[in-house]
């Protein structure tokens, strides 16, 4: 039993060490309407995600009304109605 537990823990640690963070970028053209958003891509760093989101906002008709967020290591649900869970979100 101990060998199985040790093997499972080792597998989790190896996967975690080899797993790169993934930042997903979302732009909200109207920051008051969070249900309407645009996915702008997946990035390996927060800075890349921010730059991409800000570039999209800069070409919107009303950039001052827009907002964005970058979400880290999200688990996308199988059903579209289920919420996506992420480790954290940043601006």
Name the percent of the chain lying above pLDDT 90: 67
- 20-23 contacts at long range (C-beta below 8 A, 24 or more positions apart): 20/44, 21/45, 21/72, 21/73, 22/72, 22/73, 22/74, 23/48, 23/49, 23/70, 23/71, 23/72
Give the pLDDT band (50/70/90) at residue 79: confident
Name the percent of the chain lying above pLDDT 70: 80
Q: How confident is the model over 3-26, as a mean pLDDT?
A: 62
**Do 75 and 60 contact (CB within 8 A), yes or no?**
no
Give the pLDDT band (50/70/90) at residue 17: low
């Amino acid at each position: 039993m101990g060998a199985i537990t040790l093997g499972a823990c080792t597998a989790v640690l190896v996967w975690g060490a080899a797993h790169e963070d993934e930042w997903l970028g979302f732009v909200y053209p109207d920051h008051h309407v969070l249900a309407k958003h645009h996915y702008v891509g997946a990035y390996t760093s927060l800075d890349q995600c921010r730059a991409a989101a800000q570039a999209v906002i800069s070409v919107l008709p009303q950039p001052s009304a827009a907002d964005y967020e970058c979400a880290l290591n999200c688990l996308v649900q199988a059903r579209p109605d289920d919420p996506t869970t992420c480790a954290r979100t940043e601006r």
